[in-house]
Structure 1
């Protein structure tokens, strides 16, 4: 049976707001939490980007829900050995209720130290090696690794959970989905595409059906659907940018420039707006029908309390009842 979680948008809300939203999500009946991991927001209107590992420490004290990063890039800005330490500590604080979601990242976040932004096949290669390094470290033994992209010497994590942290891999194309099937403990994607899920399952081998598939979407609850769409257009026009732009544009200013081409009408299919429960149920049900195990929903804009009341009374009962 599909479960439903809340997606904490660290690009749009400050750390204290994210912790409060996590509390409200649990009270509303959501069963899981996702949290984004960014150095920059997508644009200036979003206006936030706190350090995810600090927020996760606070979430561990504020909620009993499982938490997952969606997603961390463990390849360029932060070395995988450091990501492994952060993830292991998070899993200890959350008493095993933590999963590490990883992906190949975006130039928006990963170029900030002046490193070259590699082509997509190289990024996939780096991600696979990073996962290997982190898995070794999660065992709690001393690790030395001299690979094509990463070097680790005499490193050991002393604070580790009883079981290694599960690593789910995000993918938007067939090559990345195949990688997720081969080396991931689960699969993350943002579109309810049954073919992509099938690609992941085929790449996972005999045990693939036991690996979870997780997805997420954005909505904007409000009594005026047109006003809600304007809120989406003001804060998240980047959702409608085509192709690889979201992976290669380096700054929020570049995203703002590209987003000038995005109209509200073009953005409308990307987010369910308004207060029609059936529309929200249909949007989430599409993921369940595509074979997803957990679906995470994010409310765009400031109407957080109204959103949680709406989902607690009108939407989640239809999905989980």
Structure 2
């Protein structure tokens, strides 16, 4: 199975109309799929945006014809009730003519705190996510659902508009405990590091490996900062993407853009350039992506940093980059 390469609709760095235009451009450039972040806040104020991902994806579903679409990722536990996520996902699958995958995760305080419900512990967040997936699965049967769980209640709910193609669910996990919990509940694995052991553990579970004859997917993501001027590309990556340096254990708990700015104040441009391929060298980007397919990822989504760079990237770099990635991965 050849590796598939995707484009990230980064809602933190562009407004809704621009994101739809980028989605069309990414399809024309030859990307296989497109993923969208789902944030209420950007990571850093310099990114400057946070439109509602589900409205954007609905527009993208109508503006595109071929690319698969995915949330990467939605948290269905605090800001959204899982019954509402089930309805949104079913509707989007209809609009996308079966091209949508629901990517789920346990969330970050940055986005979930806005509804004033507090920020649960890690253990509770994991249990809440598992319960939310159970609710979404029940509602996607089309049956009338009553549910009383530890965290959620659903009263006589039903999804009236169901797609002909069921909505696949991917879940973001980072270790064996997450695999044990979510492997039996999800269709696909989502991860942000090229960890072969994670994929091996996922595929070793009973019942995983294929869905209706199709191989289950391991979907990764990697930031890049392509641009004709390497120094400018490094500076842009430092300005807008240095937040990654805290790691997910820290990032999940920070509450505001000010918190991310403070936590990353000592991250230098050189630190960023060591972790993110920057500049015009497409072969360097290929080398950075290579560990993902070597680890067994079936899908890798690229994040081109900088909203103002997307049109040039899609026009000038993406077609050749995709050709190089496909040649190298095969």
Normalising by the smaller structure, the TM-score range is over 0.9
2:58 counterpart of 1:53: no
Q: Choose the corresponding residue for 1:264, options 269, 289, 295.
A: 269
Distance in 2 (CA, whole Å) between partners of 1:108 and 1:286 is 29
2:315 counterpart of 1:309: yes
After TM superposition, give the deviation of residue 270 of structure 1 in Å.
Answer: 2.8
Partner of 1:63: 64
Distance in 2 (CA, whole Å) between partners of 1:177 and 1:42 is 27
Partner of 2:126: 124
Distance in 2 (CA, whole Å) between partners of 1:226 and 1:31 is 30
Q: Choose the corresponding residue for 1:77, options 55, 59, 79.
A: 79
Report the number of matched residues: 320
Partner of 1:9: 10
Distance in 2 (CA, whole Å) between partners of 1:109 and 1:288 is 31
Partner of 1:18: 19
In 2 relative to 1, CA 9–128 (structure 1 residues): closer, same or farther, beyond 3 Å? Answer: same
2:279 counterpart of 1:289: no
After TM superposition, give the deviation of residue 236 of structure 1 in Å.
Answer: 1.2
CA contact (8 A) 1:73 1:104 kept: yes
Partner of 2:199: 197
2:324 counterpart of 1:318: yes
Distance in 2 (CA, whole Å) between partners of 1:313 and 1:100 is 27
> CA deviation digits over 1:254-306, x for unaligned, max 9?
11111212111222233111111211111222211110111100111122232
With normalisation by structure 1, the TM-score equals: 0.96
After TM superposition, give the deviation of residue 113 of structure 1 in Å.
Answer: 1.5
Which consecutive unaligned segments of at least 5 residues does structure 2 have? none
Secondary structure in structure 1 of the residue aligned to 2:159: coil
Further displaced range: 235-244 or 57-66: 235-244
Further displaced range: 268-277 or 90-99: 268-277
CA contact (8 A) 1:6 1:297 kept: yes
Which consecutive unaligned segments of at least 5 residues does structure 1 have? none
Further displaced range: 96-105 or 263-272: 263-272
What's the C-alpha RMSD, in Å, of the aligned pairs?
1.4
Partner of 1:181: 183
After TM superposition, give the deviation of residue 170 of structure 1 in Å.
Answer: 0.6
After TM superposition, give the deviation of residue 178 of structure 1 in Å.
Answer: 3.0
Partner of 2:242: 237
With normalisation by structure 2, the TM-score equals: 0.93
Partner of 1:247: 252
After TM superposition, give the deviation of residue 35 of structure 1 in Å.
Answer: 0.3
